[in-house]
Chain A
Amino acid sequence: MTIRAKHLVPGLLVLAAVGVAVVSSRPGYTQSTPSSGSQPQVKQYQVPKGASAQDEGQRIFAQNCSRCHNAPEGFPPRISGTIARHMRVRANLSDHDEQVLLRFLNP
């Protein structure tokens, strides 16, 4: 038994339909920002409902970091610079984006 083209194309169409349905439903994609305390908690990256002026750091994080992986639940601010530099290399961030990301991770 093999997957024939006549089965593959409908399968991909169903997948696309699911994608469109997901986009159109636009569920509450909530987002928490790092706390201002000594332990920035970068929890699940979720955009607050109705957020119109999204922080640039959040945008950089969402577009470059959580594109590949879930955010770690938290880490000491002492390593935020190392994380930002690692992400700069791995995600090909610009110098500006690295600085913005660093301020987001360790405000």
Chain B
Amino acid sequence: MELRNFTRRARVLRLSSLVAGLLALGVGHLAGAQDTPLLSGGVGFFSNTPGGNTSAYSILEPLAAVPVGPHLLIESRAALLETWSPNGQGGYDHSHFVGLTYLQGDYVASSHLTAVVGSYLLPFGTYNERLSPIWIGNFQDGPLVASLGLLSTGTGLGAQLRGNAISRAKYSIDYTTWYSARSANSQFSAERSFGGRSSLYLPGQRLEVGLSYDRSLQNTQENFYGMHVWWEPKETNFRLRSEFARGHHAQGYWVEADYRTAAFGGLDSFIGRFEPLFRMQQTFRRDTIISDGLPLLNTQRADFGLDYNLPHNVRILTSYTRQFSSTSNENIWETGIVYRFLFPAWRGK
């Protein structure tokens, strides 16, 4: 117990030192009038009840972004998690986790090229980079196939080249390519791997289509393929997002739709703040080798959600899920509340 407390204090100290160092870097640079370092992120409290067993957790996800000069941005996100889960004897076990999610430096080299160095979120598909923050995701839990292509850690340690290859009025193409070294460090764990992603976006149709690929280069070398399609019709508040991923031993997809209506007084009205959601997902095992985090059996899930967007960046998330597999079916109820914060790292004039 003493050792655990010491380890926790050491982690918190390291995180605090890191954030302080980043901010000091920003202060030292005397950032421009619009380039003050910022602190953002989300804090939330969630409960989920799969098969009648309720667990609860609170999470704080702070994000720091520190511009240094005209070309460099240092950014980092951490997670502080407290979990209470049933221990099977009528009580609850408590556990906690503190860790860095990523820490990266972004160097804007040219109009079409940004070099990223450090520990970064693997840009496979869309969920990990774009939807995983708790203040963004519509559902409390990610898709079942979200772990495919993320190489067990979700982060890489190395370098990444990314940017906008072509940007026209009618279409744009962006790209990301990366290489990661192997790391067993508890804060920066990563697999030796490489990969890339490219997306085509059609602004007129508000349609995005992208392809992802990565390959693990250590132990059993495996390829992962992904495809995503997002459609957000112009002048509506309807969003349709979908993703397909295929690994060596399993594959699956998810399709998510959400909608807010402005027909009853706008989006800030009582009705307009409701956000009904629906997500359909299926996973399929290609063989019996388990190495990817997907369910052991072919699984289908239908998620029905209803979020409410309160003023002051507060959001309530609720959902009901029916999960089907060959051994058992299950109901999953989830509720949560999230507050998203965003402010300068220090007071200004």
Contact residues of A with B, CB < 8 Å? 1-3, 8, 11-12, 15, 18-19, 22-23, 25-30, 43-44, 46-47, 59, 63, 67-70, 72-73, 75-83, 85-86, 88-90, 92-97, 102, 106
Establish whether residues B262 and A27, one from each chain, have CB atoms under 8 Å apart when the complex forms.
yes
- A-B contacts counted at CB < 8 A amount to 165
Contact of B34 (CB < 8 Å), options: A2, A82, A86: A82
For B201, give the chain A residue with the smallest CB separation.
A63
Establish whether residues A86 and B73, one from each chain, have CB atoms under 8 Å apart when the complex forms.
yes
Knowing A19-B238, A26-B236, A72-B340 touch, does A92 contact B67 (C-beta < 8 A)? Answer: no
Establish whether residues A72 and B342, one from each chain, have CB atoms under 8 Å apart when the complex forms.
yes
Q: Collect the chain A residues with CB atoms within 8 Å of residue B56's CB.
A: none
Which residues of B from 91 to 127 have beta carbons under 8 Å from A? 106, 108, 110-112, 114, 116
Q: Collect the chain A residues with CB atoms within 8 Å of residue B131's CB.
A: 68
Size class of the contact patch on chain B: 35 or more
Contact residues of B with A, CB < 8 Å? 31-38, 65-67, 73, 75, 106, 108, 110-112, 114, 116, 129-131, 133, 135-136, 162-164, 167, 172, 174-176, 201, 203, 206, 208, 230-233, 235-238, 240, 255, 257, 259, 261-263, 266-268, 278, 280, 282, 298, 300, 302, 309, 311-313, 315, 324-326, 329, 340, 342-344, 348
Establish whether residues A3 and B300, one from each chain, have CB atoms under 8 Å apart when the complex forms.
yes
Establish whether residues B313 and A73, one from each chain, have CB atoms under 8 Å apart when the complex forms.
yes
Q: Collect the chain B residues with CB atoms within 8 Å of residue A77's CB.
A: 34
Q: Collect the chain A residues with CB atoms within 8 Å of residue B111's CB.
A: 94-96
Establish whether residues B236 and A92, one from each chain, have CB atoms under 8 Å apart when the complex forms.
no
Establish whether residues B302 and A3, one from each chain, have CB atoms under 8 Å apart when the complex forms.
yes
Contact of B329 (CB < 8 Å), options: A1, A18, A46, A76: A1
Q: Collect the chain A residues with CB atoms within 8 Å of residue B298's CB.
A: 2
Contact of A106 (CB < 8 Å), options: B34, B65, B266, B280: B34
Consensus secondary structure, chain B interface: strand
Q: Collect the chain A residues with CB atoms within 8 Å of residue B110's CB.
A: 95
Least Cβ distance of B154 to chain A in Å?
A: 16
Q: Collect the chain B residues with CB atoms within 8 Å of residue A12's CB.
A: 255, 280
A79 to B340, CA, bound (A): 16
Least Cβ distance of A47 to chain B in Å?
A: 6
Establish whether residues B230 and A67, one from each chain, have CB atoms under 8 Å apart when the complex forms.
yes
Q: Collect the chain A residues with CB atoms within 8 Å of residue B230's CB.
A: 67
Least Cβ distance of B274 to chain A in Å?
A: 13
